[in-house]
Amino acid sequence: MKREDMILISVDDHIIEPPDMFVNHLPERYRADAPQLVHQDDGTDVWKFRDTVIPNAALNAVAGRPKEEYGMEPQGLDEIRPGCWDVHERVKDMNAGGMLASMNFPSFPGFAARLFATEDPEFSVSLVRAYNDWHIDEWCGAYPGRFIPMALPVIWDAEACADEVRRVAKKGCHSLTFSENPAAMGYPSFHDEYWTPLWRALVETDTVLNVHIGSSGRLSIPAVDSPPDVMITLQPLNLVQAAADLLWSKPVKDYPDLKIALSEGGTGWIPYFLERVDRTFEMHATWTLQDFGGKRPSEVFREHFLTCFISDPLGVKLRHEIGIDNICWEADYPHSDSMWPGAPEELGAVLDREQVPDDEIDKMTHENAMRWYSFDPFSHIPKEQATVGALRRAAAGHDVSIQARSHRTIAPSEKLEGYRQRARRAVAAAAGK
């Protein structure tokens, strides 16, 4: 398939939220207490909510910037590409990158919205609803057919979470972001009956549960003095535990239509994982009392789980070991793993090298995403206008050049020391010190 003929739908991108997002959707009585974007004296912008301060780490928004500006230090909105937080500029960037549609995970509330859990349940739910309404009505609603809507959960209340899933489904949203390890956040594990109302709501509304790497706030860091390369290398592997936890859980057996996405986890590891779960079942099911109704765990995995990849040459090579109907493409804009704006070229090179036929390319690049997320962009956009080539022609003149945007020059040694200090604080906090 020619690069310009591909149709690309990404199931994992990110929003850097704009400062006015709560204005139109939060009840007036709560607006003074809502999270605020505050500009600091050092030029950075941070979200403040009660006693919590959430900086925007540089790795969260490096699209279009030189690698010398990568790092974990905070930054201001004026240091990042406008497409990170302005929906009109985002669509221009999507066009320039040849991307038809995108599903956007949140940033400052966290992937599971635990930030919004307060002592006032009504206020907490109002914050979640306000975010979801802004995201669905304003961000996605500004350009029908260009965004797969995604909702935040009410993770601290399973019944309220189920209600929110049903509410947003009526607005056309069939995607819920969630923690890959709720127990690590102090909530019941996936094996607890506590989540039964949520499973029922997801199945009733045909909504996908998206467990994103790092959503519990627990990324694998082998040692406090390890370099950041270790943490970055291990990020996708955080989903291995979530995949095992969910595959062996009761909900997967009780709800045949339950759909789970392993977001930003890559695909290369999955063939070994499937071999391992089948071997575990074969050797231990007699005493662990696992029963998949006459099926092997690998078969059940393919019935319930969606995986996604950025380029993953090994995963593409082993695509049939994973399941060709279980793979979607992701762009990860504007994070540091993203290949924007050159995704069609990089992805196309991998697909060419593995001689992937056109029908399988279509499944992985857009058809699987449409099916899994009940999303039909072609009801808004003619298919001939949805290709990489057509979108790029629509973006003619849009500047995608690499540009330095940081106000400060930070030496690599200073960036590394800042990372180590933050790692020490995180480990101390986890240890209760």
Closest CA to 340 of 81, 97, 104, 147: 97
Please check the confidence at residue 408 and state whether its pLDDT lies above 80. no
Kindly state the percentage of the chain with pLDDT values over 70: 93
Q: How confident is the model at residue 405 (pLDDT cuts 50, 70, 90)?
A: confident
- Cα–Cα distances (Å) from 420 to 76, 200, 223, 225, in that order, read 22, 43, 10, 7
- Alpha-carbon distance of 60 to 14, in angstroms, equals 8
pLDDT tens for residues 65-112?
A: 888 888 777 688 999 999 999 999 999 999 999 999 999 999 999 999
Please check the confidence at residue 296 and state whether its pLDDT lies above 80. yes
Look at the block and give the residue holding tokens 């019935």: 303
Q: Are 44 and 74 contacting, i.e. CB atoms less than 8 angstroms apart?
A: yes
Q: What is the pLDDT of residue 60?
A: 79
Closest CA to 375 of 383, 364, 367, 363: 367
CB-CB neighbours of 155 under 10 Å:
25
Q: What is the pLDDT of residue 432?
A: 53
Q: Look over the chain and give the mean of its residue pLDDT values, rounded to a whole number.
A: 92
Q: How confident is the model at residue 20 (pLDDT cuts 50, 70, 90)?
A: very high
pLDDT tens for residues 110-127?
A: 999 999 999 999 999 999
Please check the confidence at residue 429 and state whether its pLDDT lies above 60. no
* Crossing angle of helices 297-304 and 238-247, rounded to 10°: 110
Q: Are 83 and 62 contacting, i.e. CB atoms less than 8 angstroms apart?
A: no
Q: Are 65 and 59 contacting, i.e. CB atoms less than 8 angstroms apart?
A: no
- Cα–Cα distances (Å) from 210 to 14, 31, 147, in that order, read 13, 29, 16
pLDDT tens for residues 226-285?
A: 787 887 788 777 799 999 999 999 999 999 999 999 999 999 999 999 999 999 999 999
pLDDT tens for residues 176-224?
A: 999 999 999 999 999 999 999 999 999 999 999 999 988 776 555 555 6
Kindly state the percentage of the chain with pLDDT values over 90: 80
CA dihedral 396, 402, 408, 410 (to 10 degrees): 160
- Alpha-carbon distance of 34 to 45, in angstroms, equals 16
Q: Are 28 and 346 contacting, i.e. CB atoms less than 8 angstroms apart?
A: no
- Alpha helices, H only, 206-312: 228-234, 238-247, 250-254, 270-288, 297-304
Going 128 to 129 to 134 to 140, the CA torsion angle's sign is: positive
Please check the confidence at residue 165 and state whether its pLDDT lies above 90. yes
Please check the confidence at residue 366 and state whether its pLDDT lies above 70. yes
pLDDT tens for residues 368-395?
A: 999 999 999 999 999 999 999 999 999 9
pLDDT tens for residues 347-360?
A: 999 999 999 999 99
What is the b/e burial string over 398-408, where b = at least 16 CB atoms within 10 angstroms of the residue's CB? eebeeeebbee
Question: What would the mean pLDDT of 337-346 be, rounded to a whole number?
Answer: 95
Please check the confidence at residue 418 and state whether its pLDDT lies above 80. no
What domains, with CATH codes, occur in the chain?
3-430 (3.20.20.140)
What is the b/e burial string over 181-210, where b = at least 16 CB atoms within 10 angstroms of the residue's CB? bbeebebeebeeeebbbbbbbbbebebbbb
Q: How confident is the model at residue 306 (pLDDT cuts 50, 70, 90)?
A: very high
At 308 the three-state DSSP class reads: strand
- Alpha-carbon distance of 36 to 59, in angstroms, equals 22
Please check the confidence at residue 419 and state whether its pLDDT lies above 70. no
Look at the block and give the residue holding tokens 């072609």: 378
